[in-house]
């Protein structure tokens, strides 16, 4: 059974000990079976990779930039957003170790005769994690629901409790 060529891979067998930069540009449809197009990624996806090779390890930093198309959760207006994400992966040659629990850093072991590092799955993960939970078009004056919220706020009764006033101040602070 022949293994398919990876979409995004780095040839590490030819790297010398220094920093190397790679730029990959692909489309969501290139990631077959990963449902990136269904998630809203319809335009080009740019992946910037910095690989720092030292004697015993390779530190790979992934930075993704993609434009995703959504609809507003309030008024269903079409919205395009630029989404960014990053991930740092540590590849160590020939050692087995416990995974560090320090957040977005990931440690992996490599055999000394490894020629390529496949980062396709990592790129998909970063892209999917960059998706927002809620999509709204607050700055869009055509959003009917946003406009109606302002008129409803004006029609509130004058007697409000102290917790409602505090909540209103907090809401205005973060606008």
Residue 101 has what pLDDT? 39
Q: Each residue of 81-109: b (16+ CB within 10 Å) or e? A: eebebebebebebeeeeeeeeeeeebeee
Asked if pLDDT for residue 126 goes beyond 60, the answer is: yes
- Mean pLDDT for 130-141 is 80
The whole-number pLDDT of residue 96 equals 56
Q: How far is CA 137 from the centre of its chain?
A: 20
Residues forming a β-bridge with 85? 64
Answer yes or no: is pLDDT of 86 > 90.
yes
What is the SS3 assignment for 122? helix
User: Domain segments of the chain: what residues?
Assistant: 9-139
Per-residue pLDDT band at 130 (split at 50, 70, 90): very high
| Residue 129 clears pLDDT 80, i.e. is over it | yes
Which pLDDT band, with edges at 50, 70 and 90, does 64 fall under? very high
Residues 60 and 57: their CA atoms lie apart, in Å, by: 10
Q: Taking residues 85-96, report their average pLDDT.
A: 83
pLDDT for res 66: 93
State mean pLDDT over 155-171. 68
More confident site: 3 or 62: 62
Q: E strand or H helix at 152, and its extent?
A: helix 144-154
Percent of the chain with pLDDT over 70: 76
On the question of pLDDT at 97 being above 60, the answer is: no
Closest by CA to 146, choosing from 96, 91, 74, 87, is 74
pTM value > 0.85: no
Rg value, the chain, Cα: 23
Count of other CB atoms within 10 angstroms of residue 29: 10
pLDDT average, residue stretch 102-106: 52
SS3 114: coil
Distance, in Å, from the CA atom of 44 to the CA atom of 25, rounded to the nearest integer, reads 7
């Amino acid at each position: 059974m022949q293994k398919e060529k990876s979409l995004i891979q780095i040839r590490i067998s030819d790297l010398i000990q220094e920093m190397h930069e790679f730029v990959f540009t692909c489309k969501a449809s290139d990631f077959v079976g990963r449902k990136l197009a269904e998630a809203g990624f319809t335009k080009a996806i740019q992946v910037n990779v910095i690989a720092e090779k030292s004697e015993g390890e390779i530190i790979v930093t992934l930075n993704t930039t993609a434009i995703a198309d959504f609809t507003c959760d309030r008024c269903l207006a079409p919205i395009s957003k630029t989404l960014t994400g990053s991930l740092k992966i540590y590849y160590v040659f020939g050692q087995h170790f416990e995974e560090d629990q320090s957040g977005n850093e990931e440690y992996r072991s490599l055999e000394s005769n490894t020629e390529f590092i496949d980062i396709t799955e990592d790129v998909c993960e970063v892209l999917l994690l960059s998706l927002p939970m809620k999509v709204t078009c607050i700055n869009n004056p055509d959003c009917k629901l946003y406009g109606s919220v302002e008129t409803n706020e004006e029609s509130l009764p004058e007697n409000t409790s102290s917790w409602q006033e505090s909540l209103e101040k907090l809401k205005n602070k973060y606008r």
